[in-house]
Structure 1
C-alpha cells in the first residue's frame, strides 16, 4: 500500500490544470460512479484531479490501477476493506475492464463497505458493457468523449471559450463566431484538430500521434473485439479493411452487399460487426429519421467515430466524409442521451442530418448552396472553410463548441 500511495503522490504532482467538460457534470457525491471512454480521452486525469481537489495529498483518497502487479495476488475487495479500515473515504479504480470479475468485486465493495465512495473507469467499452448490468441499480455511469474543438483550443492554444448550446449557435452564430476569430486564426486550428486533436495525447507529440492512435485501434480490434464480442481473430484483418473502405468513401448510404464482397465478410455478419464497431467507438451509425421500423433497419450512413481515425487510416480521406464525420461526432457527443434508443441524430428525407427531430442540416464546403433547405423553416447549412457565416450559413467549426 505504501508503494501505491508513493505512485499516487507522483501522479498528483504532475497533474495538468485543464479540466474535461465532464468534470463539472458529474455528481461526485454519489457513492458509486463509473467513467467509461476510449483509451486516452482523459479518464485517469479526471479521477486524479478529483482526488487532488478534495483531499490533496492526504491518504484518505486512493488511486489504483487494476493492472498493477499488486492486484495479481491481492483481491481488490481486500484492498478496499483495508483502506477503509484505516480511514479511507474515496477509492478510484482505473482500468477495471482488465479484471475478469471487476463488476462482482465493485458490487461487493459497494454492498459491504458503506462508508467508502468508489469511482471506477475503463477503456474497453465493449468489455465493460458485458458486465456493468450487475451494477445497474447501484452505479451512475458516464461516458467521457474525446476532445471537442473548444477543448482542443484550450489545451493546444491556451484559448478558453465557454461551451455553447446548439440553440444559441443557431440564434447568434455571427456574433459568436466573430468573437472567436478576433482572438485566434480559427481555420488552421480547425484543420489541425481534424487531424490530431480528438485525443489529449497529442500533447505528448504530434509526430507520434498517428502511431499511438493506430496502436489504440489495434488494441480494440485485436483484443477487445475477440474477447467481448466473440469475433474470431481471423476476421480482424477483414474489419481493418472495412474501416479503411469507410474512411475513403464518400458519405453515402452503405451498400451492404458491396461491402460484403469487398471485405469477404458475409452480409449477416456485416450488420453485426457494424454494431460491434460502433459499441467500440470506432464507427458511428446514423439511421433514418421517423422512429419506428426505421430504427431497426440498416444504417442510412456509416462514419468513423471521429475524424482523427480517418486521418490515421487513410492518407487521403474523402473531404465530404471528414466534414460529416466531424458534425456527427460533435453533435452526438454533446446531446444528452436519455433514452435506451438514441434518436438525437438521424438522417432525414432531405438534408444530411436531423437533430433532435427539430433542425435539418446540410453539411458542405464553402461553395455549398442552400437551395436544399430554402423551404425548411428550421434548415441550416454547416459550412467548412468559413470563418464567420450569415443567415442560415453557419461555420462548421462552431459546432465544435457545444461541449
Structure 2
C-alpha cells in the first residue's frame, strides 16, 4: 500500500489544474460508483487527478492504475478493502480494463464496502462498456469523455474563460468572442490540425497520436473481440481505406474483398472502430429524430485524425464535414439529411466553404449554411468555427 500511495502523491503533485475538461462539472461525483469511458488520449487520467486536487483531501483519496505491476501479486479488491479500513473514502482506478475480471471485483467493492466511493476509467471504451453492461449497469453512472472542442482549445492555449454556447445561440449568431481573439480562423485551423487531443503540446505529436491509434487497433479491439494478431493488420488496412475514402457510403462486400474477410465481419469491424473512437457513422433518422441502424456515411471521428491519417493534406470538404459532425454529436442527435448534409432536431445544415450558395436549402424550413473561412455570420449563414463553442 505504501508504494501505491507514493505513486499517487507523486502524480498528484505534478497535476496542473488551470484547465479542466468540459465533462468534469457534469459528473455527479458524490455517486458511489462512476464509470468514465473515452478513446485513448482524450484526458481521462488528468481529469481524475485534477478532481482530487481541486475538491478532496489527499489522505481521503487514492488513485491507482490497474495496469501496475503491483497487481501481479495483489487484487484490486484487496487494495480497496485495506484502503477502506484506513478510513479511505474515494478510490480512483485508472485503466481498469487492463485488469482481468475487473467488473466482478468492482461489484464486490460496491456491495461489501458501502462507505467507499469508486470511480473507474478505461482507455478502451470497449472492455469497460462490456463489463459495465454485464455486472454494473444498475449500480454505475456512466460518462463518456470526448476530445477537446474549439472552445476548450482556446481556453487551454490562450487562458480565456469561454463558456459553452447553446446551439440556439450559435444558429442565431448570438455569441461573442473576447477582444483578445479578433481573428478566430488561424486558431481554428490550428485546432483542426492538433487540438482535439490534449497532449498536442508534447513533442512529436503526430508520432504519439500514431501510437494511440496503433494501440487501439493492436490491443484494445483485438482484446475485446478475442482477435489474433493477423486481425489487427486487417483493422489497420480497413482504417487506411476509410481514411482515404471518407466520407463514403460503406459497401461491406467491396471492403471485405479488399481486406479478405466476409461482409459480416466488416460490419463488426466498423462497430468496434466506432466504439473505440476512431470513426463515426452518420445514420438516418425517423420523423421523431430517433437514429436508425442504417448508416448513410462514414467519417473519421475527428478532424485531427484526418490530418494524421491522410498522409498529406486532407480533402477540405471531408475535413469540414468531419469537424461539424465531431463537434455537434457530443450534445446533439445528428442524422443524415435527405436534402443536404446534416439534420439536427428539424434543422438542416449544409456545410461548405465561403462561396457556398443557399440553393440546396432554399426549399427547406429551418435551413442553415455553415461556411468555413468566414469570421462572422449573418441571418442563416453561420461560420463553421462557431459550432466549436457548443461544448
Report the TM-score, using the length of structure 2 for normalisation: 0.94
CA distance in 2, matches of 1:181, 1:353: 32
Task: Report what 1:328 is aligned to.
Answer: 325
Task: Report what 1:156 is aligned to.
Answer: 157
Task: Report what 1:196 is aligned to.
Answer: 194
Q: More deviation in 218-227 or 5-14?
A: 5-14
Deviation string 1:11-46 (CA, Å, 9 cap, x unpaired) is 222211211101111111101111111122111111
Task: Report what 1:92 is aligned to.
Answer: 92
Q: More deviation in 146-155 or 181-190?
A: 181-190
Deviation at 1:367, TM superposition (A): 1.1
5+ long unaligned stretches in structure 2 = none
Task: Report what 1:303 is aligned to.
Answer: 299
Deviation at 1:181, TM superposition (A): 6.9
Task: Report what 2:115 is aligned to.
Answer: 115
Task: Report what 1:32 is aligned to.
Answer: 33
Task: Report what 2:313 is aligned to.
Answer: 316
Q: Are the aligned partners of 1:249 and 1:321 in contact in 2 as well (CA < 8 Å)?
A: no
Alignment of 1:195-274 (within 5 A): 195-205=193-203, 208-249=204-245, 251-274=247-270
What SS is found at the alignment partner of 2:351? Answer: strand
Task: Report what 1:341 is aligned to.
Answer: none
CA distance in 2, matches of 1:390, 1:291: 29
Task: Report what 2:131 is aligned to.
Answer: 131
Q: Are the aligned partners of 1:247 and 1:321 in contact in 2 as well (CA < 8 Å)?
A: no
CA separation of 1:201 and 1:184: change in aligned 2, threshold 3 A: farther
What SS is found at the alignment partner of 2:148? Answer: coil
CA distance in 2, matches of 1:313, 1:82: 46
Deviation string 1:240-286 (CA, Å, 9 cap, x unpaired) is 22222322235243344443343333322222211111111111011
CA distance in 2, matches of 1:223, 1:117: 30
RMSD between superposed Cα atoms in Å: 1.9
Q: Are the aligned partners of 1:146 and 1:198 in contact in 2 as well (CA < 8 Å)?
A: yes
Q: More deviation in 153-162 or 111-120?
A: 153-162
CA separation of 1:294 and 1:62: change in aligned 2, threshold 3 A: closer
CA distance in 2, matches of 1:244, 1:180: 40
CA distance in 2, matches of 1:212, 1:384: 29
CA distance in 2, matches of 1:307, 1:180: 25
Task: Report what 2:341 is aligned to.
Answer: 352
Task: Report what 2:380 is aligned to.
Answer: 392
What SS is found at the alignment partner of 2:357? Answer: coil
What SS is found at the alignment partner of 1:47? Answer: helix
Task: Report what 1:61 is aligned to.
Answer: 61
Q: Are the aligned partners of 1:181 and 1:387 in contact in 2 as well (CA < 8 Å)?
A: no
What SS is found at the alignment partner of 1:295? Answer: strand
What SS is found at the alignment partner of 2:359? Answer: coil
CA distance in 2, matches of 1:334, 1:346: 13
Deviation at 1:202, TM superposition (A): 0.9
Which runs of 4 or more aligned residues in structure 1 lie more than 4 Å from their structure 2 counterparts after TM superposition?
291-294
CA separation of 1:347 and 1:233: change in aligned 2, threshold 3 A: same
CA distance in 2, matches of 1:271, 1:391: 41
Alignment of 1:257-296 (within 5 A): 257-290=253-286, 295-296=292-293
Q: More deviation in 257-266 or 75-84?
A: 257-266
CA distance in 1, matches of 2:233, 2:152: 34
Deviation string 1:198-244 (CA, Å, 9 cap, x unpaired) is 11111223xx1111111011011111111112334323333222222
What SS is found at the alignment partner of 1:91? Answer: strand
Report the TM-score, using the length of structure 1 for normalisation: 0.91
What SS is found at the alignment partner of 2:91? Answer: strand
5+ long unaligned stretches in structure 1 = 336-343
Alignment of 1:1-12 (within 5 A): 1-12=1-12
CA distance in 2, matches of 1:192, 1:361: 24
Q: More deviation in 237-246 or 86-95?
A: 237-246
CA distance in 2, matches of 1:289, 1:381: 21
Aligned residues: 387
CA distance in 2, matches of 1:232, 1:300: 30
The answer to whether 1:371 aligns with 2:359 is yes
CA distance in 2, matches of 1:55, 1:281: 31
Q: More deviation in 256-265 or 306-315?
A: 256-265
CA distance in 1, matches of 2:246, 2:27: 38
Q: Are the aligned partners of 2:222 and 2:231 in contact in 1 as well (CA < 8 Å)?
A: no
